[in-house]
Amino acid sequence: MRIRQYARLVLIVVAMPVFFASAQKAVPTAAPGTRNANLEDVVAALFEHARSESGLPPLSRVHKSDVEKLVCTATIVGTPGDRPTGLHLNALYRTAEPDKIGDDLRKFAGRRDRVGFRRFAVAVWTAQPPTDPVQYWVGFRLYISPGAEFVENHFTDQVFYKDNWKEVVAPQCKSASAKP
């Protein structure tokens, strides 16, 4: 009898956090100008799903600080009706529903490349100034394989240009990190 009571207790203790976590809203309210790592995971999964729907090969997800810093910069210099230019991102868009596949995400995910990208990084930051509903900047950057990236960055003329993206990063975003 005691074993059954303990089993029920363990089941309740394990099941309750899972139930409450799944019952929570996917898009939490957030302070303006902050990174949302949970939404990054959601957007990455949606991106992978949209690519598979388009019949494109899957890409591996990586966490890169350059994407974090560039999307952070977009939150500072971007305006609601205008997308910032000059940022070294493959895709950047503003949305109130990052947890849904929108036109921007579908268009980007369905794009065929000729370069041979193998990896992608995504960053999601809340937009500034605060709006209702909350707006988010979503940015993507595509990468070639690690070996090809090493060769390109060390043995081609890219060695002189690989860090140009750092010139456009806002001072407030220089400490943004890719740590989830």
157-180: pLDDT as tens digits: 877 878 888 888 989 888 877 555
User: What pLDDT score does 80 carry?
Assistant: 59
Distance, in Å, from the CA atom of 48 to the CA atom of 128, rounded to the nearest integer, reads 28
Distance, in Å, from the CA atom of 96 to the CA atom of 6, rounded to the nearest integer, reads 45
Residue 53 pLDDT greater than 50, yes or no: yes
58-111: pLDDT as tens digits: 999 999 999 999 999 988 887 656 677 778 899 999 999 999 999 999 999 999
- What is the domain count for the chain? 1
Q: Check which CATH number belongs to the domain holding 46 and give it.
A: 3.40.33
Q: 110 in a domain, yes or no?
A: yes
| Domain that residue 133 falls in | 28-173
**Do 170 and 33 meet the contact criterion of CB atoms below 8 Å apart?**
no
- What's the mean per-residue pLDDT of the chain? 81
Instruction: Name the band, by pLDDT with cuts 50, 70 and 90, for residue 31.
Output: low
| Sign of the dihedral through C-alpha 66, 68, 74, 76 | negative
117-146: pLDDT as tens digits: 999 999 999 988 788 899 999 999 999 999
On the 0-12 / 13-18 / 19+ scale of CB atoms within 10 A, 7 is: exposed
Q: 14 in a domain, yes or no?
A: no
Q: 20 in a domain, yes or no?
A: no
Q: 17 in a domain, yes or no?
A: no
86-95: pLDDT as tens digits: 788 999 999 9
Neighbours of 75 (CB within 10 A): 25
Distance, in Å, from the CA atom of 38 to the CA atom of 98, rounded to the nearest integer, reads 11
Q: 83 in a domain, yes or no?
A: yes
On the 0-12 / 13-18 / 19+ scale of CB atoms within 10 A, 99 is: middle
Q: 72 in a domain, yes or no?
A: yes
Q: 91 in a domain, yes or no?
A: yes
User: What pLDDT score does 3 carry?
Assistant: 55
Distance, in Å, from the CA atom of 67 to the CA atom of 37, rounded to the nearest integer, reads 13
Q: 81 in a domain, yes or no?
A: yes
